[in-house]
């Protein structure tokens, strides 16, 4: 199966700054997703990113706060903008293969905002 | 209201002591139910997909089953390396989002 990676694996950022997280898959995939995993909480979908179209955001998440790019079929980025301590979380990207519904996850990016 | 509820939150087993994890769900149109394993500091690792009531899937010491309201992950004769958090997620026909439960943290001691 395809291999998925994320950069950075972790970061500590100052309040008010932005961080861009990169997600790379080693083969072409149609659908990529971005999730957030807060301590003690369930994984929550932020948005779905399809190549060639605008990302689709879930309720409670907005493009100005979490802009997403999907320039090709193997790569996506998520930016966490104007960060506050409440944005401290693990951010995960995933993809689903052609003709299947299960999603395969990257290793995650652990973000701490001070 | 949570769509997916997992129980227990934490489970401690002796090596070889079989048990089951529960995932109950409330969705209007279930496309699939998914089980994942997550080790500390890593992303979730896909285990099984179940699509219809009565379906069963097996992998090594794990067996997943599905009814119209819940799924069970049975662990037979667990080993310490089975220690992890097990996550359950549902996907509705209306979209591609996976709605996750909070997970069951399993510890298997020698």
- What's the burial of A59, exposed, middle or buried (CB within 10 Å: 0-12/13-18/19+)? exposed
Nearest by Cα to A94 from A111, A110, A109, A114: A109
**pLDDT of amino acid B1:** 59
The total number of residues written for chain B in this structure: 110
Whether residues A31 and B96 touch (CB distance < 8 A) is answered with yes
Q: Could you count the other beta carbons within 10 Å of the beta carbon of residue A47?
A: 22
Residue A78 forms contact with B (CB below 8 Å): no
Smallest Cα distance from A33 to chain B, Å: 8
CA B103 remoteness from chain centre = 8
d(CA A112, CA A85): 7
pLDDT (tens digit per residue) in A11-52: 999 999 999 999 999 999 989 999 999 988 999 999 999 888
- What's the burial of B27, exposed, middle or buried (CB within 10 Å: 0-12/13-18/19+)? middle
3-state secondary structure chain A: CCCEEEECCEEEECCCCCEEEEEEECCCCCEEEEEEECCCCCEEEEEEEECCCCCEECCCCCCCCCCEEEEECCEEEEEECCCCHHHCEEEEEEEECCCCCCEEECCCEEEEEC
pLDDT (tens digit per residue) in B12-41: 999 999 999 999 999 889 999 999 999 999
d(CA A48, CA A67): 11
Q: CA–CA distance from A94 to each of A97, B12, B18, B25, B47 (Å)?
A: 10, 30, 32, 22, 15
Smallest Cα distance from B87 to chain A, Å: 9
Tally C-beta pairs within 8 A across A and B.
55
pLDDT (tens digit per residue) in B71-106: 999 999 999 999 999 999 999 998 899 999 999 999
Shortest CA distance from B31: residue in chain A = A101
- Give the up-direction half-sphere exposure of residue B104: CA atoms within 13 A in the CB hemisphere: 27
């Amino acid at each position: 199966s395809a291999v998925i990676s994320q950069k950075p694996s972790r970061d500590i950022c100052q309040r008010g700054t932005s961080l861009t997280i990169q997600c790379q898959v080693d083969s072409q995939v149609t659908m990529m997703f971005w999730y957030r995993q807060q301590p003690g909480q369930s994984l929550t979908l932020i948005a779905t990113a399809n190549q060639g179209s605008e990302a689709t955001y879930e309720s409670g998440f907005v493009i100005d706060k979490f802009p997403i790019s999907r320039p090709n079929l193997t790569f996506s980025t998520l930016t966490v903008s104007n960060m506050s301590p409440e944005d401290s979380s693990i951010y995960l990207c995933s993809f689903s293969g052609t003709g299947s519904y299960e999603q395969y996850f990257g290793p995650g990016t652990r973000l701490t905002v001070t | 209201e949570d769509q997916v509820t997992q129980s227990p939150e934490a489970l401690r087993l002796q090596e070889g002591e079989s048990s089951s994890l529960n995932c109950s769900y409330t969705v209007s149109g279930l496309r699939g139910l998914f089980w994942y394993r997550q080790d500390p500091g890593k992303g979730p690792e896909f285990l099984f997909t179940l699509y219809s009531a009565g379906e069963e899937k097996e992998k090594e010491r794990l067996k997943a089953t599905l009814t119209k309201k819940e799924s069970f992950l049975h662990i037979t004769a667990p080993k310490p390396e089975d220690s992890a958090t097990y996550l359950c997620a549902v996907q509705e026909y209306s979209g591609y989002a996976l709605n996750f439960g909070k997970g069951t943290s399993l510890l298997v001691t020698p």
